[in-house]
Structures are given as structure tokens and as C-alpha cells.
A and B are shown apart, each in its own frame.
Chain A
Amino acid sequence: MRPFALEMADTPAAATNYATQSAGTYLAGGTVLLDLMKLDVIEPQTLVDINALADTYGAIEADDDGITLGALVRMAEAERHPAIRRDYPVIRDALWQAASPQLRNMASLGGNVLQRTRCSYFRDVSWPECNKRAPGSGCAAIGGNNRRLAVLGVSDHCIASYPGDFANALVALGAEVGLRSADGSERRVPFEDLHRLPGDTPEMETNLVPGELITAFHVPAGPWTRRSLYRKVRDRTSYDFALASAVVALHLEDGVVAAARIGLGGVAATPWRAHEAEAALTGRPLDEAAAEHAAEAAFAGAVTHGGNDFKPELGRRTLVRALLEAAAMEVLP
């Protein structure tokens, strides 16, 4: 870990000022940042500790329009929140199946959605080739060990997978992310627009402008949120990244899908919303054939690289399972 300056921000304005004037990187839970700094993958000059902003950005507020989660809410806090447990079970499921209890106590929601890939070739700096870490250097993962890497949204320049869980629920549920810029202005953008596909610039992972601070996530209410779940398939029973995961939220009317919200994890370059699968389901009775049809649509664009050849099939099966389980859920009216 290289030396850095540590600034303590006690107001949002101070935070964004430090971030812009000192090219600072925000430090909340530290579980991603310090990890990558210890590996020498990133070398921030300045860390801006924003944990003191929890008074401003640390609340969970639920109303008829939906639920707003402050960016400095810890994953474990959100997992325990009664409104989330009752009305947004998919968020609860995505949280408690992520990482470990210690990490969930530390990690902020804002930091969690910015979790970096677990691609070995990104994380080990002794690999010269990584377009994400060293733009233009190539991609060692293509042709390398890529069992855990992505099959959706990838490019010839990068096949890194987004490893998180919670963000897949946000993207599927059509959440918005609140942002505060250095000049103090605030904006809300669709969460789906937060992350960028790798394309030929895999080093650019988000559309955040320098110094911009994530303040909150707003998840809109909808008739599908209570019939929602997160199905995570992984090698270990716990404390493991998804090989494939599926977010499913359904609005069923007499067994027919009135609306579906579907997200995929472990298989894509970014938090992934499966619009094609949603469209394939809408208006159909939710049975196994419909679920399989939707799963085919979800993975129609999959590109594999040897080690991850199994992922489209596992991803389809995971989604089918999640759809059928969601349809069978007993749901509060």
C-alpha cells in the first residue's frame, strides 16, 4: 500500500471539495478500497473519509412511493430493516447472501454497488495484460482461467464480471441513484445508467463524474416487490461470489405475468437487467415453459471463453428456478 493523505470530511461539501481539489477517493467501509490498495492495484493519493456523513446519508425511509436507502447505510443495517424484510424481500436476500457478516457490517451500500471485479488478472498486478488496470495492455482472462468471469455485456477487451449481489436487485427493480456533485448540485439517475459496459474502455466502470458522491438509492414501489427473491448459485454454501444469480420480482394476476423485473448476477460485466426476459414473460402464464423461454432470451447474447462455457446454461437454470420459486411464493396482499 502506497502512502496517501487522509482527509476527514464532516460535511458533504467538505467531502466533494476534498475529492475534487485533492483528487480524493471516497472511503466508507473500505472493504474494496483497502483490499485493492494492499494488492497495489490502485494507488489513491488522497482518501476522503466520509463515514461522518452518516447523519446525512445514513437513513432508510420507506413510504408509498418506495424506499430510499442512504448511501452510508451499512449492508447489515439494510438487511435487518423491517420495511425491506416485508416489502422488498429480494433486497434482503441479496444482502444476507453477500460477503460475510463482518463485511456487511462495514460495507456501505454506496460502496457496495461500486465493488470491483474479482478477475484474477485484474487483481494480480504481476499480470501485465489487463485493459481495466492498464488500458491498452490486453486481456489475459481471454484465453486464461475465466470460470468466474462474465458472459453477458463483455467485449474483446474485457470479460471481467461484476461480483456483487445487491446492485442486481437495484437494477432489476428500476432504482434510481442519487448523486451530489462538487458544486453542491444533486441529481438522480437511473441505477441502470450508473455502470458502463466495458466496450473498448473497460477502465471506465461508471458514469460518475470526478468528485461525484453517491448519496442514496431510491427503489420505486411496485406491485412486484413483495413477490421477489434472489437466487444465488455458488460453490460454497456461504461466503462466496455467485457463479450465477437471478433477481426476480413478479406481479402476477391470476397466474399471468402482469409485470416482471429480472436481474442477473455473476454472469455479466455490470449489474444486469434482463429486459428481453421480462418482455418474454409479460402477458404469459408463469409455467416452466414460459420460464425457460424467458431464460433463453436472457442469455441469447452470451459470449463464452472456455472456462465459463457452462455459465449460460447455469444462468438459464438459475433464472428458471428463481422464476418458479417466485411464482410459488406466499405473498402478503
Chain B
Amino acid sequence: MDIVLTINGRPHHLSVEPRVVLLDALRDRIGLTGTKKGCDQGQCGACTVLIDGQRVLSCFVLAATVTGEITTIEGLAPEGGPLHPMQQAFIEQDALQCGYCTPGQILSAIACVHEGHAGSAEEVREYMSGNLCRCAAYPNIVQAVLQAAPQMDATAGPTSAETV
């Protein structure tokens, strides 16, 4: 099937079988390898991307069915430009170790804030539980989300469109 995916504001034309999931399309066809494969079964959250601002698991999305705008980790900050407040907070709070789950954590965290689920540490813990971190940086991840949340309110990014 010939499809067009809008990723980080740019259209990508590709020809895929219906069974190609968005995760593999991003990594193997388009070369956006920041989105990670950790289980391919919807269990780890490493493949989290935003579609129209909503966090979803790209391993469970058929590429050919995507109509919305996709944001991946590569789309959060321009090359050489300032980092997204969530990215900056992850560095400052050391909210990562091996870094493999980190792109998914960050995209999930941005959505968590936009959903209004970053009101307290307890709420962040619950609403970030879909992203496993085997290095177990969890307490630092919570701190990063709480740090970035007020900064994000002030800076409406491309992913801030909350659609309910």
C-alpha cells in the first residue's frame, strides 16, 4: 500500500504491506530509530509516540491506518536547538540510565502533562506506569515530570493539542 505518514511535521511517502506496524515503519523504512522496540507486544512502552498529541504504542498501530500527525522523539527539539523542557528535565534529574526506554518515557511524560495527570508525584507515578524502566530510574523520572510540567504550561509546543 502506498501511504503518507506525517512525522514531525514532514510528510513521508512509503509503500508498505498492511501488516507493517508503525514502529517498524519508523525504524526500518524511515530511519527514525529513536523510537525503540522493547517487546513488540504492548508491554513496555518503549515504542511510545504521539499521534495528534495522544500517546500510543507504535508496535500496535498498523502504519497504513495512521491518519494523524505523528511526533517521535526526533521531533521534539530541532537539531542544535534548545531541548524540550521534558528532555532537559530528564537530563537534569538523571531520569535515565541506559537510555533505551527514554524516548518513550519522554513522549509519554509530555502527554502525561498535557492530559493533566502531572498534578502530584502520586499521579505521575500512576500515569507513567505504562513505561517500564529496567534500570529503575523511576523516582528521577517522576521528578523530571514534575520539573518540566510548569515549564510546559508556559511553552505551548507542537504536541500540546489535547484532543479529548
Contacts and interface: CB of A to CB of B under 8 A. Distances in A.
Interface of A: 1-6, 8, 27, 29-31, 34-35, 37-39, 47, 49, 51, 76-77, 80, 96, 99-103, 105-106, 236-239
B127 interface: yes
Contact of A51 (B42, B55, B65, B131): B65
Interface in B122-159: 125-127, 129-131
Contacts of B48: 102
Interface of B: 1, 17-19, 21, 40-42, 45, 48, 54-57, 59-62, 64-65, 108, 111-112, 115, 117, 125-127, 129-131, 164
B19 A102 contact: no
A34 B65 contact: no
Most chain B CB within 10 A, of A1, A35, A239, is at A239
Contacts of A35: 41-42, 60
Contacts of B54: 105
Given A3-B19, A102-B45, A49 B65 contact: yes
B55 A238 contact: no
Contacts of A76: 115
Contacts of B125: 238
Contact of A238 (B60, B108, B111, B129): B129
Given A2-B19, A102-B56, A105-B54, 17 more contacts: A1-B19, A6-B62, A6-B64, A27-B65, A30-B61, A34-B21, A34-B62, A39-B41, A49-B62, A96-B126, A100-B129, A102-B45, A102-B48, A106-B56, A106-B57, A236-B129, A238-B129
Given A6-B65, A101-B111, A38 B41 contact: yes
Contacts of B127: 101
B55 A105 contact: yes
A30 B60 contact: yes
A106 B130 CA distance: 13
A4 B65 contact: no
A101 B108 contact: yes
Contacts of A106: 56-57, 60-61
A76 B163 CA distance: 11
7 contacts: A3-B17, A31-B57, A76-B115, A101-B55, A101-B112, A101-B115, A237-B129
A6 B111 CA distance: 30
Contact of A6 (B18, B56, B112, B126): B18
A267 to B, nearest CB: 23
Contact of A239 (B21, B112, B129): B129
Contacts of A39: 41
A77 B18 contact: no
B130 A4 contact: no
A29 B48 CA distance: 15
Contacts of B1: 6
Contact of B40 (A38, A49, A100): A38
A195 to B, nearest CB: 22
A48 to B, nearest CB: 11
B18 A4 contact: yes
Nearest to A239: B129
Contacts of A47: 18, 62
A31 B42 CA distance: 7
A239 B42 contact: no
Contacts of B55: 101-102, 105
A102 B57 contact: yes
Given A4-B19, A34-B62, A103 B164 contact: no
List 6 tightest A-B contacts by C-beta distance, closest first: A100-B130, A238-B129, A6-B18, A239-B129, A105-B54, A102-B57
Contacts of B111: 101
Contact of B164 (A30, A80, A96, A239): A80
B94 to A, nearest CB: 23
B114 to A, nearest CB: 11
A26 B108 CA distance: 27
A114 to B, nearest CB: 15
A172 B64 CA distance: 38
